[in-house]
A and B are shown apart, each in its own frame.
Chain A
Amino acid sequence: MLKLICAIIARDLRLAMRRRSDLVSALFFFIIVVSLFPLGVGPEPELLRKLAPGVLWVAALLATMLSLPRLFADDHRDGTLEQLALAPQPLGLIVLGKVLAHWLISGLPLALLAPLLGLQFDLPTDALLMLSVSLLIGTPALSGIGAIGAALTLGVRGGGVLLSLLVLPLYIPVLIFGAGAVDATLTGLGAQAHLSLLGALTLAGVFFAPWPTAAALRIALE
């Protein structure tokens, strides 16, 4: 079982490496969106510190959305998905592997890049660290929940916009606890409760979401 998941992850990472430009584009999207906010609201450090957790987290949600439509689309186009669905292994496990791979190429880079952007917002060190930690804990849930939307809109016209319409409302709890954790660190309150709840969301998102995703994929393949 673990071997299957690892094989899927390795395969998806290999494919992603062939399309490095997509990965870099999503990261630059993240950087640009975050950098637009000071230009929009003004450069006062007080205000920027207050906005930073929300801005960085919302930008992370949007950057995650960019790579979601591709999650199953390529495999669907070349028929791999059909073969995976026919494989004796449960489709949910295969989806789990793809979700983890998606996190490695979208969520993880965002979490590592975010502290650098936090500097633009004059965040103190402990908040920068918390930003990274909350993104590390929270972004797997984004990949998991996003996979449901990606499977539902597979091969549907206007898929990309539709996908954000379906998935963004479901991201709200992750946003609340993720940005809340950074905010709590900024204001000197502990972020322990936020992180625990974020962790619970991620566990639920990563381990339960693959099953409706698998069901949605089977419907799309019918």
Chain B
Amino acid sequence: MPGTSINWYRFASPQAFYPLAGRMIPWFWALAAVFGVAGLYLGFLVAPTDAQQGEGYRIIFLHVPASWMSMFIYLVMAFWAGLGLAFNFRLSAMMATALAPTGALFAFLSLWTGALWGKPMWGTWWVWDARLTSELILLFLYVGFIALQSAIDDPRRADKAGAILALVGVVNIPIIYFSVKWWNTLHQGSSVSLTKSPSMATTMLWGMLLCALACWMYAIAVALMRVRMIVLERERQTEWVREVLRGGESA
């Protein structure tokens, strides 16, 4: 199938990617809505209560997907950034830039929902739990990436510098996580921890997986929307952008 490989190269160019992404976005929105409705239905309406934690445990249907996405997006971001750095793919560097704000948002949401979970469970908004602390540091890493890229005016340099920072961050994340974990066990001993999740009923597990899928689809849709803006902005000198905008493109 020689056609497949040609297509891949074609879609790796911003010119071909821009309309393709525009066509894909509604589909990802639809998937996000379907998964989200199903997951929230299972999690908030069907799933039974947790014996130890009461109804407050239902926050995990938001908290766990948000945490997963914040970590997963950092890995994906570093992957695209590294690919852009190694092979000089413009589009994949733009993808990394587009993912960062959404990853930071999920890191923030993970902290927010974690705090609202912690208050009824442990009586405090914040504990220096290994996971919460790592999540906070992950948010710092996202903020550093975004700040570095927005401080550099030349987009090519911003791409490459961001890529190096993202790769250094990826190498450091396990080191940070294990050092925080070590610190946490030394200082808190047998105190509360998020790792003690309630014994999961099948319904809960499905609810959580569906919510995570919804967040995933949401992240793809939003990243595609943002990368389209970046493509348009960066390629504004080219003929194809003029062509697209003259053709009555409005969204």
Contact = CB atoms under 8 A, between A and B. Distances in A.
Direct contact between the two chains A and B in their complex (CB within 8 A)? yes
Interface of A: 148, 152-153, 156-159, 162, 165-166, 168-170, 172-173, 176-177, 180, 197, 201, 212, 215-216, 219-220, 222
B168 A148 contact: yes
Interface residues of B, number: 26
A170 B151 contact: no
16 contacts: A148-B165, A148-B168, A153-B151, A156-B152, A157-B151, A162-B147, A166-B147, A166-B148, A172-B176, A172-B180, A173-B179, A176-B180, A201-B175, A212-B167, A216-B161, A219-B157
Nearest to A216: B164
Given A166-B144, A166-B148, 4 more contacts: A148-B168, A170-B172, A216-B161, A220-B157
Among B160, B161, B180, find the residue whose CB has the most chain A CB atoms closer than 10 A. Answer: B161
B157 A222 contact: yes
Interface in B83-127: none
B231 interface: no
A197 B182 CA distance: 11
Contacts of B152: 156
Given A148-B164, A156-B152, A172 B157 contact: no
Interface of A is mostly: helix
Nearest to A201: B175
Ranked 8 nearest A-B pairs via Cβ = A173-B179, A169-B140, A166-B144, A219-B160, A176-B183, A176-B179, A152-B161, A156-B151
B143 interface: yes
B136 to A, nearest CB: 9
A169 B165 CA distance: 12
B147 to A, nearest CB: 5
Interface string B177-209: 001101100100000000000000000000000
Contacts of A158: 151
A170 B141 CA distance: 8
